[in-house]
Structures are given as C-alpha cells and as structure tokens.
C-alpha cells in the first residue's frame, strides 16, 4: 500500500517541479524583457512588498535578482523535500522544507554584512578621490561620478546605481539618498545628507567631504577599540552558548545510552525538551546582549 502512494506522490511532485521550472523560465524571460524596456528609467526605490523585500535582500548581498534561476532552485528544493521524505519520513520532509530556506537566509545576511563592511572601508578612499577632483576644478557631480568609476568592487558596483540615476537626469543628492536608503547604512546617509546640504545651501564641498572622511575613520577606529575591549565578553558568551551543545555531543559519542535512557522515559523526555527550550532561550538572550554591545 505504501509503494503506490509513494509513486503517486513522486509523480505529483515531479509534475509540480516541471510546471514551476517552466513558469520560472518564462518569468525570468519576461523580467529580462522588462529590464531592457526600463533601461531608460531611473532606479529609485520601489514600493515595499514581500517579493520586493526578497529581491532587495538578494541585490544588497550582490547575488543579483532571485528570479534569474527561480525555477531551477524551486525544482531542486522540491526534489530535496521529496528525498528527505523517502529517507527519513515526515521528519526528513520537515527538515528539508525548513533547513534550506533558513540556511539561505543566514547566508544572505552574512554576505550582506561582509559586503557592507567592505563598502564602508572603501568609502573614505572614494571621498578622498572626490576631494582631489574638486580641488582640481571639477564640479561636484563630475567629481563623485569620476570617483565611483575609479573605485573598486563592491563599492563601484553598488554605486553604479547613483551613476545611472544621475545620467538619467536625477539630481546627485536625490540619487545618493536613494542609494543610502537602499543599503540602510548611516555612513551612506551622511554622505547623501552632505550632498543635499551643499546642493541647497552651497558652501565648500571639499571641506565638507574631508570632515566626513575624518568622521568615518574615527567611527571605524572607535568600533575596533570597542570590539577589542569587549572581546572577553564575546568569547565568554560563545563558550556559555556552546558548552551544553558540546556536552550533549560528547555524551552521544562516548555513552549514547546515558541520554537514550532519559529519552525513553516519559519524565526524562520532558526534561530534555525543557533543557532544549532553556538552551534556545539562553542563546537568544546572549545574542541580544552581544548585539547591544
């Protein structure tokens, strides 16, 4: 009885995966056509929605648009869920349904933070190039665009958004503000605010940018000092969070019956679930404490 049911489920999943793969290919082709038709339009922030937020995450992490290979990834995910069901029944199905999206979310967040850190490190060099261009007689817009062209990735790729918007007729302060709000970083917001103030009220743009360079470098130095001063606290938090997990792993390798005896007992099972809940809550509390440092 189980065999025909599994075969039926397999056929249904294969049909769904083929259907989603075809829809993904058609959607990707449609998006590429729309992108070519919209090449003459400014790249301002769009209205927020669930799909827009997902696309924003991918773009900020430098991974391109998720629609490019949507059908392929959905097909692989569905097949992984089906294989998980065949290997470990409902537990494998649940694991393969939840684990890949969670891992993808963590990877995108990690890649975005690493890319953002590199962009902030490159920003003083871009501002310094802009200041030197201003002192040589170029306009502010030409100096900023020239500095963007002279910098390296990932900042050059990210600030290509500013360059394209300016070339399409949007003012430099508005394009810089759009870029700052897209990446949601204070250093970029200060850069956009400085350009806006200079655009509205005038003044010495080179002096303003030099002060911004000094402020960014002082802030970076302060962050490094704080990280060094709180190093012992962070290591302590990692040890406290990882010690129970390490102990459970040691017992499972050295004497698995020690924990299996508790698992096979009703009261012991409740105690293990309570310990797991306390471990999760403790890790969340330590994580929040580290975020506040």
Tens digit of pLDDT for each residue in 12-70? Answer: 656 655 665 555 555 555 555 445 544 444 444 444 455 577 778 888 887 777 766 66
Closest by alpha carbon to 16, among 88, 82, 68, 66? Answer: 82
Q: What is the pTM of this model?
A: 0.64
Q: Write the pLDDT tens digit of every residue in 224-237.
A: 887 788 777 778 88
Counts for the chain of helices (H) and strands (E), in that order: 11, 0
pLDDT at 68: 65
pLDDT at 137: 83
pLDDT at 34: 45
Q: Which residues of 153-171 are buried (b: 16+ CB within 10 A; e: fewer)?
A: ebbbebbebbbebbeeebe
What is the C-alpha separation between 180 and 178, in angstroms, rounded? 5
Other CB atoms within 10 Å distance of the CB of residue 15: 10
pLDDT at 43: 46
pLDDT at 39: 46
pLDDT at 32: 54
pLDDT at 26: 57
Classify burial at 22, counting beta carbons within 10 Å of its beta carbon; exposed 0-12, middle 13-18, buried 19 or more.
exposed
- Which residues in the chain land under pLDDT 50? 1, 33-34, 37-48
122: helix, strand or coil: helix
pLDDT at 37: 44
pLDDT at 35: 53
In angstroms, the first-to-last Cα distance of the chain is 58
pLDDT at 89: 74
């Amino acid at each position: 009885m189980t065999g025909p049911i599994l075969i039926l489920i397999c056929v249904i999943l294969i049909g769904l995966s083929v259907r989603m793969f075809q829809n993904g290919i058609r959607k990707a082709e449609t998006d590429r056509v729309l992108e070519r038709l919209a090449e003459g339009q400014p790249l301002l922030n769009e209205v927020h929605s669930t799909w827009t937020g997902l696309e924003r995450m991918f773009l900020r992490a430098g991974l391109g648009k998720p629609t490019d290979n949507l059908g392929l990834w959905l097909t692989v995910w569905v097949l992984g869920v089906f294989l998980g069901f065949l290997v470990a029944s409902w537990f494998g199905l649940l694991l393969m349904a939840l684990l890949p999206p969670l891992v993808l979310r963590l990877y995108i967040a990690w890649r975005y933070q690493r890319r953002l850190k590199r962009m902030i490190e490159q920003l003083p060099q871009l501002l310094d190039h802009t200041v030197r261009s201003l002192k040589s007689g170029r306009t502010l817009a030409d100096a900023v665009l020239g500095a963007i062209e002279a910098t390296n990735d990932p900042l050059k790729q990210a600030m290509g958004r500013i360059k394209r918007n300016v070339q399409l007729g949007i003012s430099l302060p508005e394009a810089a503000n759009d870029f700052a709000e897209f990446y949601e970083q204070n250093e970029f917001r200060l850069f956009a605010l400085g350009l806006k103030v200079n655009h509205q009220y005038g003044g010495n743009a080179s002096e303003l940018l030099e002060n911004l360079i000094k402020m960014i470098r002082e802030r970076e130095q302060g962050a490094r000092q704080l990280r060094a001063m709180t190093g012992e606290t962070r290591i302590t938090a990692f040890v406290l969070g990882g010690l129970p997990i390490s102990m459970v792993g040691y017992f499972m390798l050295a004497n698995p019956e020690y924990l299996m005896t508790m698992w096979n007992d009703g009261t012991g099972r409740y105690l293990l679930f309570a310990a797991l809940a306390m471990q999760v809550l403790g890790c969340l509390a330590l994580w929040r404490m580290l975020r506040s440092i």
